[in-house]
Chain A
Amino acid sequence: MSPDLLREVAAETGWHVVLVAVSIGIATAIGVPLGVFLTRRPAWSRPVLGLVGVIQTIPSLALFGFLIPVPAIGGIGTRTALVALTLYGLLPVLRNTVTGIEGVDPAIREAGRGMGMTDRQLLVRVELPLAASVILAGVRVATVVGIGVTTIAAAIGAGGLGVFIFRGVAMVDDRMILAGALPAALLAIGADVALGVIERALRPPR
């Protein structure tokens, strides 16, 4: 691999990480509060989770394509890619937030209410800490999937490791494809392992 290509791979890897980190960050910032809201309004839970689930079923290349003509959030480039990546990350975070909080032992919730905790205190001191590892498991899935999906963001000019994959496909050059695919795979494995460690640390003692 030429030094020029190596430098280029390093730069796109960095950018890839930025795209994933920002989109997962936004997905978490939306998904966790929305998930908490859904546990307070169970009637909304099914329709909202269903809607977010439908987004998940749209093939990623198609979703990027659909967003191009959309005003304000669409177009070519980084912004559109971030919107699409955030939408993909939303479901695992949202679903795990709901599952995590609903999975808190009812006896523990009743004890909290019985000792005079407000709904907010119950959430912050009991439900979120006990659900934290499950929520983080959702973030972990969203991140690993997001690292893969982000390679497709290059198709709408958002950069990232997909640049080499698309270039390699066009040039029928396996080594060029690998220059994108291999770092992406390593990123995914690294993120999976690192977030797995945090997830276990957050797991409450049983």
Chain B
Amino acid sequence: MRPFVEFEDAGFRVDGRAILRGFSLAVAEGETVALIGRSGSGKTTALKLVNALLMPTEGAVRVAGRATAEWDPIRLRRRTGYVIQEVGLFPHLTIGRNVGLVPELEGWPAARIGARVRELLELVGLPAAEFGGRYPNQLSGGQRQRVGVARALAADPPLLLLDEPFGALDPITRTELQREFRALQARLRKTAIFVTHDMREAARVADRIALLGGGRLLAVGTPAELGSSQDREVQAFLEAGAT
């Protein structure tokens, strides 16, 4: 399968300090790759290079064959679903309007937006009749995060970027959402990049795992491949996940 996202020797520096160095990774179309690493390992930076929230200071990042520097950043982001840990739902808009925002920005007719919102809320298990008119503050953390996923999927983007999307949830809700995400992906087959610091989560949601440390790619492989790796940082993460 051809790669949908390609990091080509990508680097990112701020004030001469390298946050990410010589990062190369190809994510195939329809594949879910987890970026895992400690805080400050560069995984979130790598993710932001994909939707042009940051621009690589060295190398390039290609999306659908085109370098992010050549994309109109607005167009690129409208075609890329983005879910962050803090969810970032707009508190002054109802759940329905939050989910329908990108289609609205894209100028869809109102009827089509309404139908899409109902479809998506149904998909993430929050019936629109009950939840569509509520405000984000009237939802639980897990429900908000489901809305965040629905919103990212609204304009049917081929690519999903998730930055520790379930990080702030309790372990039970978290496991539930990981399973739902996996089931959703089995149906939708989006290309997805999932940032996490939890090895078990990475193994549950991703086809392949890329381990980052100190701004470099340390190891990449399927969960099983990483499981048999002798690399010390990989071992450290497996142990941390086992406890």
Q: Which residues of A contact B (CB under 8 A)?
A: 105, 107-108, 110-118, 121, 125-126, 129-130, 204-206
| Docked-complex contact B91 and A115, CB < 8 angstroms | no
Residues on the B chain within 8 Å of A130, using CB? 90-92
Which stretch of B77-85, B113-121, B226-234 is in the interface?
B77-85
> Known contacts A110-B53, A204-B92, A205-B92; is A115 also within 8 Å of B87 by CB?
no
Q: Residue of B at shortest CB range from A205?
A: B135
| Docked-complex contact B88 and A204, CB < 8 angstroms | no
| Docked-complex contact B92 and A114, CB < 8 angstroms | no
What's the Cα separation between A107 and B163 when bound, in Å?
Answer: 12
Interface residues on B, range: 20 to 34
| Docked-complex contact B77 and A116, CB < 8 angstroms | yes
What's the Cα separation between A107 and B164 when bound, in Å?
Answer: 13
Q: Does B151 contact A (CB under 8 A)?
A: yes
- 27 example contacts (A-B, Cβ-Cβ < 8 A) are as follows A105-B88, A107-B84, A107-B88, A108-B88, A108-B91, A110-B53, A110-B88, A111-B82, A111-B84, A111-B89, A112-B88, A112-B90, A113-B77, A114-B53, A114-B80, A114-B82, A115-B102, A115-B105, A115-B152, A116-B73, A116-B79, A117-B74, A125-B90, A204-B91, A204-B92, A205-B135, A205-B137
Question: Could you tell me the distance in whole angstroms from the C-beta of B72 to the nearest C-beta in chain A?
Answer: 10
Residues on the A chain within 8 Å of B74, using CB? 116-118
| Docked-complex contact A113 and B78, CB < 8 angstroms | no
| Docked-complex contact A114 and B91, CB < 8 angstroms | no
Residues on the A chain within 8 Å of B73, using CB? 116
| Docked-complex contact A111 and B88, CB < 8 angstroms | yes
| Docked-complex contact B82 and A115, CB < 8 angstroms | yes
Question: Could you tell me the distance in whole angstroms from the C-beta of B5 to the nearest C-beta in chain A?
Answer: 15
What's the Cα separation between A117 and B101 when bound, in Å?
Answer: 10
